[in-house]
Amino acid sequence: MAEYAKPRGTADILPDDALEWQFVEKTAQQLFESYQYREIRTPIFEHTEIFERGVGDTTDIVTREMYTFTDRGGRSVTLRPEGTAGVARAFVENRLYGGPLPAKLYYNGPMFRYETPQAGRYRQFYHYGVEVIGTDDPRSDAEVIEVADRLLRTMGIESFGLELNSVGCPVCRADHKVRLLEHLEPVRQDLCTDCQERFEKNPLRILDCKKDGNNPTVLSAPTITDSLCDSCASHFAAVKMYLDAMAIPYQVVKTMVRGLDYYTQTAFEFVESSIGAQSTILGGGRYNGLIRMLGGPDLPGIGFAGGIERLLLARAAHGLKSASQNHPDAYVIALGEAAREASVRVLHALRQAGISADADYSGHGLKAQLKTADRVGATFALLIGDDEVKSGTVAIRNMATKEQTSVNEVAVVATIADHTGRQG
Ligand code: HAM
């Protein structure tokens, strides 16, 4: 057993796996940019109150999942458990609201939550996500959902379901809260400890509690979706109309309220059953009060984030794997002492010309080095022995056809560039 093990709930992404990660990250980046989103990078830790205020101090994330510590200057800082609050803070602090609106931003990077690890649930995990800040037009809700839908499909995942709801605004929530508490009062004592706490502070979340969600009284509770004010109801109707216009299928799930407090109106989750119990592959929603809560102007926002690990689990479950191994175009083989200097020169010249090249430092014989060239998938092996040194040439061996030609050392770069279509 290894002497030192990584912390629980974290992962090493080894070179073979990193290829899949690169594929997913690059594909997401290209897609976001084609929808005219621009990248934003915010710190991995923030002042703790950004999350307490932004995500909500009664949420599971804030009450028990944050990595919070006091730094040497005595300030409380927290490793970001999610990206939206930090992006909102950066939007306000850097006055992005003075620029063109809506600001369409995307990001990816590690997030940290002290959760019980299991398949698809980790303590360090990676988000890719977008935020659109500065419009409450329901077309932007539909666009954000469309980006998420397209992203999953571009990754080869088609079997997911889209669950949609509206969680209303402070106006309809106040009304709904009164009716909900009245309805739940008779079973209040039977609810789990968390829900008893939520009862006063955030009763809406009792509806999607994993423990109490199946209690018949909770099941028959009035949903926020049925209590929307006129403006939230027409917003929700418009979002559905635009999704219909794009033929994006969805299912309204009235009990889905999401686990972060900043949501208003549209809330959605993409669910992919192939990845096991942690089946929410991506989630998001509208947050019309967040920018103001963090000291900015009263601007609405909407966005989503998905976990890269869950995306990769889904791709693996569907047998999808990107084939993009990074093979060298040229593999330089030096045979004997005298060839070493020429081999260094040739390798340097190839690399300077932008050709993907590597060399064997083993000092083994020709057969063993050719075997390695084969194993690494080289297109050409460049052989330099005593004869080549004497004549100032290099033998170029096509690894697929085994054909071998001899060229002058100064012509090596041009010859390889010509054959591989790379720049010479
Ligand atoms: P969230 O639902 O907390 O939303 O996280 C989004 C996604 O991150 C989840 O659907 C899941 O795929 C992944 N995820 C969450 N926790 C873990 C974990 N412990 N291990 C692995 N993957 C995980 C947010 O974070 C919001 N900021 C999304 C958003 C953006 N809403 C508006 N804008």
Instruction: Tell me if residue 20 falls in helix, strand or coil.
Output: helix
The predicted model gives 105-109 an average pLDDT of 98
Question: Residue 277 has which token pair?
Answer: 């119990």
> Atom 16 (ligand 1): residue with closest C-alpha?
121
pLDDT, one tens digit per residue, over 312-334 is 999 999 999 887 778 999 999 99
The predicted model gives 139-146 an average pLDDT of 98
Q: Residues with Cβ < 8 Å from 375, sequence gap 6 or more?
A: none
Give yes or no: residues 109 and 26 share one domain. Answer: yes
- The per-residue pLDDT for 214 is 84
Q: How far is CA 147 from CA 41, 73, 102, 130, 266, in A?
A: 20, 42, 16, 9, 15
Quote the ligand 1 centre to 307 CA distance (angstroms).
6
> Atom 22 (ligand 1): residue with closest C-alpha?
307
Q: Which of 317, 339, 358 lies at the terminal end of a domain, its last residue?
A: 317
The answer to whether residue 277 sits within a structural domain is: yes
Question: Residue 15 has which token pair?
Answer: 């070179």
Residue 70 has phi, psi (to 5 degrees) of -95, 130
pLDDT, one tens digit per residue, over 345-400 is 999 999 999 999 999 899 899 999 999 999 999 999 999 999 999 999 999 999 99
Quote the ligand 1 centre to 306 CA distance (angstroms).
6
Give yes or no: residues 159 and 83 share one domain. Answer: yes
- What percentage of the chain carries pLDDT values higher than 70? 99
Give yes or no: residues 31 and 88 share one domain. Answer: yes
CATH code of residue 262: 3.30.930.10
The answer to whether residue 69 sits within a structural domain is: yes
Instruction: Tell me if residue 354 falls in helix, strand or coil.
Output: coil
- The per-residue pLDDT for 116 is 96
Number of domains in the chain: 2
Q: Rounded to two decimals, what is the model's pTM?
A: 0.93
Dihedral angle sign, alpha carbons of residues 362, 368, 370, 375: negative
- The per-residue pLDDT for 379 is 97
The answer to whether residue 217 sits within a structural domain is: no
Closest CA to 244 of 391, 114, 360, 146: 146
* Band of residue 196 on the pLDDT scale cut at 50, 70, 90: confident
Q: Give the structural domain span for 280.
A: 15-169+229-317
Q: Which of ligand 1's atoms lies nearest the C-alpha of 282?
A: 10
pLDDT, one tens digit per residue, over 73-90 is 999 999 999 999 999 999
Q: Are 349 and 413 in contact (CB under 8 A)?
A: yes
Using CB distances shorter than 6 Å, the residues near ligand 1 are: 82-84, 113, 115, 120-122, 125, 127, 129, 131, 260, 280-285, 303-307, 309-310
- The per-residue pLDDT for 1 is 62
> Atom 14 (ligand 1): residue with closest C-alpha?
307
The predicted model gives 139-163 an average pLDDT of 97
Q: Which of ligand 1's atoms lies nearest the C-alpha of 123?
A: 19
pLDDT, one tens digit per residue, over 220-251 is 999 999 999 999 999 999 999 999 999 999 99
